[in-house]
């Protein structure tokens, strides 16, 4: 990261939120359900499918966890009503796992019920390594009941390959990402090329065991290797989908995937808690942080 961008990032918390929003808005589909649903409609028209996420995590009260759950229920209804091609991704801690397992389970049951009623799907996002066991257990419990549900595995964790190999591959459906949380070296691989090696090892295992995978990455070099693997194993295009975050530049790869007949799912986050998420996105793309500062001083 250049010195200029490092300085830009350290300035960020001092900037007015309205200014940060001008740059952050490329990564979030607004702050209301209406703006999010309209963004999904636009993406569907362009040939993308979507997974929708209400921004927020680590909910501290039962009241808020219930409110978030009600918002998800309403979204499933709206998605169904507007015939959108969109499922839901949610974070366990957003619907109450930090408060109690009981509150989380009650809320998850409500989400699953409406998802089943509207013929949809729930993806449980993976949070930090503190939540890995809990999330896998929760996913398996619901999967075993026959619900249409998936989770996420992170290629940077040492444990992930074994976690997946120990599961029953039948009807398994996971998103594979590198992992975004800060973890210590005993828990995660830190070398970027070794993370990619592990990503490809897990992906090979998934393809060889006919597991449906959401290939979630913006790393073009990794994508090139993924394509080689798909070619080598002659994987049918209905056994995977590509997944990207809303607004992240893909240098033509999304269109290339659509043109090749592959499914591309855009992860669309929205909501009033846009600030923390956007700062994280901006840190991953510090050029944009640099623009913000330049804009500020050139006005």
Ligand X SMILES: Cc1cc2nc3c(=O)[nH]c(=O)nc-3n(C[C@H](O)[C@H](O)[C@H](O)COP(=O)(O)OP(=O)(O)OC[C@H]3O[C@@H](n4cnc5c(N)ncnc54)[C@H](O)[C@@H]3O)c2cc1C
Active site residue: 98, 125, 265, 281, which one?
Answer: 125
List, in sequence order, every residue forming a beta bridge with 151; answer none if it has no partner: 124, 174
> In 3-state terms, what secondary structure has residue 188?
strand
C-beta closer to ligand X: residue 84 or 183: 183
Mark whether 125 is an active-site residue.
yes
Whole-number Å distance between alpha carbons of 201 and 197: 6
Asked whether position 179 contacts ligand X by CB under 6 A, the answer is: yes
Segment lying near ligand X (by CB under 6 A), choices 95-103, 176-184, 230-238, 256-264: 176-184
> From the DSSP assignment, how many helices (H) and strands (E) are in the chain?
12, 8
Mark whether 175 is an active-site residue.
yes
154-to-113, 163, 211 alpha-carbon distances in Å? 27, 10, 16
CB of 59 to ligand X, least distance (A): 17
Tell which positions 201-220 bind ligand X, by CB under 6 A.
216-219
Return the residue of 284, 294, 295, 296 that touches ligand X, per CB under 6 A. Answer: 284
Asked whether position 198 contacts ligand X by CB under 6 A, the answer is: no
H or E element at residue 215: strand 212-216
Return the residue of 57, 98, 125, 183 that touches ligand X, per CB under 6 A. Answer: 125
Lookup: tokens for 290: 């640099």
Number of residues that bind ligand X (CB under 6 A): 22
Quote the distance between the C-alpha of residue 162 and its chain's center.
Answer: 22
H or E element at residue 14: none
Return the residue of 187, 248, 258, 279 that touches ligand X, per CB under 6 A. Answer: 248
Whole-number Å distance between alpha carbons of 270 and 24: 11
Asked whether position 180 contacts ligand X by CB under 6 A, the answer is: yes
Lookup: tokens for 9: 């990032």
C-beta closer to ligand X: residue 62 or 253: 253
Active site residue: 53, 123, 175, 265, which one?
Answer: 175
Asked whether position 132 contacts ligand X by CB under 6 A, the answer is: no
C-beta closer to ligand X: residue 39 or 152: 152
Lookup: tokens for 50: 């979507």
CB of 63 to ligand X, least distance (A): 25
List, in sequence order, every residue forming a beta bridge with 176; answer none if it has no partner: 153, 215
CB of 129 to ligand X, least distance (A): 10
> In 3-state terms, what secondary structure has residue 171?
coil
Asked whether position 244 contacts ligand X by CB under 6 A, the answer is: yes
Whole-number Å distance between alpha carbons of 72 and 52: 9
Give the active site residues. Answer: 125, 175
Which chain residues interact with ligand X by CB under 6 A? 125-126, 152, 154, 175, 177-181, 216-219, 243-245, 248, 267, 281, 284-285
């Amino acid at each position: 990261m250049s010195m200029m961008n490092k300085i830009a990032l350290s300035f960020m918390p001092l900037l007015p939120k309205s200014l940060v929003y001008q740059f952050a808005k490329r990564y979030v589909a607004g702050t209301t359900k209406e703006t999010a649903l309209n963004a999904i409609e636009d993406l569907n028209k362009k040939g993308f499918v979507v997974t929708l996420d209400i921004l927020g995590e680590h909910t501290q009260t039962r009241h808020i966890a219930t409110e978030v759950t009600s918002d998800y229920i309403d979204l499933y209804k709206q998605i169904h009503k507007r015939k959108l091609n969109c499922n839901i991704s949610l974070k366990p801690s957003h619907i109450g796992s930090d408060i109690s397992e009981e509150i989380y389970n009650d809320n998850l049951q409500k989400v699953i019920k409406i998802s089943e009623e509207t013929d949809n799907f729930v993806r449980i996002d993976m949070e930090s390594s503190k939540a890995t066991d809990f999330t896998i257990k929760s996913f398996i419990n619901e999967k075993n009941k026959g619900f249409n549900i998936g989770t996420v595995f992170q290629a940077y964790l040492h444990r992930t390959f074994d976690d997946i190999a120990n599961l029953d591959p039948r009807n398994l459906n996971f998103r594979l990402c590198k992992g975004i949380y800060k973890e210590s070296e005993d828990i995660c691989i830190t070398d970027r090329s070794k993370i990619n090696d592990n990503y490809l090892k897990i992906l090979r295992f998934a393809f060889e065991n006919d597991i449906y995978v959401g290939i979630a990455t913006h790393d073009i070099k990794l994508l090139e290797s993924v394509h080689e693997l798909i070619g080598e194993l002659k994987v049918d295009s209905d056994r995977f989908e590509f997944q990207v975050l809303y607004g992240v530049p893909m240098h033509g790869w999304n269109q290339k995937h659509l043109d090749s007949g592959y499914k591309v799912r855009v992860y669309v986050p929205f909501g009033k808690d846009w600030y923390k998420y956007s700062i994280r996105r901006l840190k991953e793309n510090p050029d944009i942080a640099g623009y913000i500062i330049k804009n500020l001083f050139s006005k």
